[in-house]
Structure 1
């Protein structure tokens, strides 16, 4: 990884006299603070709610250690990827790689870009499914806490979640008409505030429950299972949940593309990433550890839904409402790159199509004029409907998060950033740096394989039960 001096002098970075790209129609105005908001919105999401359960499976030593290890891995891969935003062009000078797949194509070629695109779009699509499941479970948690408050803790407060998945999908159909990343800074800031709010409440409730219990629950080896095989599957699944909670490599370059310059975008993005990961790791450790300390062997899969029996019920309701509001923004953070990728491809494919390229102005009372496009309306609506439908078929919170984390952790957060860095820095085979990076990649691949196996087994068991 280059030093700050390298960031300023590297020929890859080119001139930073202006943030305006003459080939684009927008001015880049992002700062370290807006980038942090985007990162926190993308990172602190559904994953934080499963961390108490993950710590419970791993125990008091392995649980916190693995949270820190994955944080370190994320910082390392992020630093590699930040330097890939600017790339040399022999004819036109340094150019921007404004998306992850664009950077992969420049450094690794078209074949790798196609593989990357497959994993990338699956990852972003999967995040939408996970966010739908989480939002519905939070609405159900609000209903349960209100029911227990009114009817008593012995009441049968069971609620379905299909209706709320549909409702979340309807909201996302409307929100998906936001044109692109450059028009949603406000949404990320609101979502980041919601992240802090519910993570803080989860931390506070966990701490209060520990004080109420008068002791710290849990054990070094974690929750026991009926046999060694079941324990192994649960440990693997827990690692997948942690893997899902951290990496945001796929949206890093889109976030970096919103930054103004000077200073160099990679320098700003590294600072924003480090700050955001330190903040999220603090919350992750607190929520995961206090949640396990509060519930012990009864730690729920979704931390805040586990407080349904407890008072003050209004605080639990508020926390879950913050989750829902955050997920509205988080869904868009992960969906906008897919929208941009597909719409750019269709626009190039059909440059003369009115359906694809014609925009219509919609003016509603008291609101600014809004540009509408038939392709955008049809494709984005279909996309949201499909994520909602799959979420209704597989509404398994921990298992789905583990599966998504396992599928995407190695290829997107490790393999492609490492390979691009090796090409960019022209690192020769069998040099010390080459051996370290390839060993790092291999170890992370093994982790991804075992977490994938554990998560698939969890989904099959949940579906059969």
Structure 2
């Protein structure tokens, strides 16, 4: 008697668009997941790696890069297995990082996870607003110098471009969820490759040109221009830059939730993580090491600016435009979990509200019918507006990102994946595996604290010279 009913449900066209838990059917593959990861990881942080290697030197710099690559990949595989619980293949799906922690650990750790994740995501979106405007201003400056000479007064304001960036994000933020974001991540990933390759090519040309630069095994040297304490602070900041350049765990579960249910999501996510982290490490190693070889111990914070605003101005313009386009996509990758969390909570709190729950189809030229939700329209527009205003009021906010990253890297990338693995597999206390996992966890905690100290020192330095709404 049950068979006809089952067959009826299977043949129902509405059921074909639903997943095993009644939600919208997922269509993501390891390719789209890899694109999301590359978009999230190869951010503008790649541009600071030449500076980071310069602080650490030829021995410690590449070693730290490789160490964090291995740590990030290892903990991401642990986190991928926690997506379904209690079984990593047949268990119940958990849609967010908080859901995963709730299923595996529970208690106050869920709130700690939420605070670490969402504070980091908000900070990153504000930082990306600043960084994208800086890249467009760099294009304006290089064109100004090219047209008017190298002595021209070329100091355009960042603020109009922050507003333009925010307007673009207001439109893109209406993309309903991560499942509809794959095309934007692929475009952003291509852009990240483009500006990394341009910077790499210019660095190789600089080295091949025979320009003499001083590099050392231990990096920048204490002397007239660098005190011993500044060397320590810079070393701390460099370790922090490298550690946080790999941190994509804040969005890993949300990325995994876009994958099709077969093949198993954890296997596909591990493949995507391997591709994403390997690709990232290759680019980081090339850009960091060759950038250091090109500029030596005087490597700038952004190695694209080390080539000046002059010639080849058109190539540096292309690189900076690619950075801006990449950050447009990366902003969406990092803000979608915030949007999803707030909208889910509001729908649970006010399930009868038409303003929150109802959608209507609107015909968009060249795109067909597009679902519009009034709450999503108002709330997401308000979020983008607020982040843009904060970026405009505190344009040095990038200094906060190191501090925010220090507070989120350890719990989200290391602590929770390890603790959930220990709880899920039921590893005996003081066994060999338990001990070395704990050693790894505490080592990363110390690194996060060290990076936080360096970030606070950098923040205090920025505050001393801060002048609101002043064009740099």
TM over 0.5: yes
SS of the residue corresponding to residue 209 of structure 2 reads helix
**Post-superposition shift, 1:214?**
3.7
Structure 2 residue aligned with 1:371: 371
Residue 313 (structure 1) shift: 1.1
Counterparts of 1:292-371 in structure 2 under 5 Å? 292-371=292-371
Give the match for residue 128 of structure 2: 131
| Corresponding residue for residue 3 of structure 2 | none
- 3-state secondary structure, aligned to 1:168: helix
Decide whether aligned partners of structure 1 residues 238 and 398 sit closer, same or farther in structure 2, where only a CA change above 3 A counts.
Answer: farther
The correspondence of residues 204-353 of structure 1 with structure 2, limited to 5 A, is 204-224=201-221, 225-353=225-353
Q: Shift of the alpha carbon at 1:357?
A: 1.1
- Kept after mapping to 2: 8 A contact 1:299/1:306: yes
Q: Could you say what secondary structure the match of 1:303 adopts?
A: coil
Other-structure match for 2:70: 72
Q: Which residue pairs with 2:111 in the alignment?
A: 114
Question: Whose Rg is larger?
Answer: 2
Q: Structure 1 residues 101, 77: closer, same or farther in 2, change over 3 A?
A: same
Report 1:393-432 matches (<5 A): 393-396=393-396, 399-432=399-432
* Residue 167 (str. 1) matches residue 187 (str. 2): no
Q: Which runs of 4+ in 1 moved over 4 A?
A: none
Alpha-carbon offset, residue 378 of structure 1:
1.7
Distance 2:270 2:356 in 1: 37
Q: 2:51 aligned to 50, 53, 56, which one?
A: 53
> Structure 1 24/123 Cα, relative in aligned 2: closer, same or farther at 3 Å?
farther
How many residue pairs are counted as aligned between the two chains? Answer: 445
**How high is the TM-score relative to the length of structure 2?**
0.90
Partner residue in 2 for 1:62: 60
Which residue is 2:12 aligned to? none
Give the match's secondary structure for 2:368.
coil
SS at match of 1:361: strand
Question: Could you give the per-residue CA deviations for residues 196-240 of structure 1, whole angstroms, max 9, x where no partner exists?
Answer: 111111111111112224445422232345321122111111112
Out of 19, 22, 37, the position equivalent to 1:21 is 19
Deviation at 1:323, TM superposition (A): 0.8
Higher alpha-carbon deviation: 49-58 or 416-425: 49-58
Q: In 2, distance between residues paired with 1:405 and 1:119?
A: 9
Return the offset for 1:389.
2.1
TM-score of the superposed pair, with normalisation by structure 1: 0.91
1:99 matched to which residue of 2? 96
Whole-angstrom distance in 1 between the partners of 2:298 and 2:151: 17
- CA–CA distance in structure 2, aligned partners of residues 352 and 27 of structure 1: 25
Residue among 169, 176, 179 paired with 2:173: 176
Which whole-Å deviations, capped at 9, do the CAs of 1:117-149 have from their partners, x for residues lacking one? 011101111110121121011111111221222
- Cα deviation for residue 398 of structure 1 reads 6.0
d(CA) in 1 for partners of 2:400 and 2:356?
A: 34
Name the SS of the counterpart of 1:155 in structure 2.
coil
Pick from 115, 139, 144 the counterpart of residue 142 of structure 1: 139
Q: CA deviation at 1:20?
A: 5.4
Give the Å deviation of 1:60.
2.1
- Given that 1:148 and 1:308 are in contact with CA atoms closer than 8 Å, whether structure 2 keeps it comes out as no
Gaps of 5+ in 1: 1-17
CA distance in 1, matches of 2:409, 2:371: 37
Specify the SS of the correspondent of 1:369: strand
Instruction: Could you tell me which runs of 5 or more consecutive residues in structure 2 were left unpaired when the two chains were aligned.
Output: 1-15, 466-472
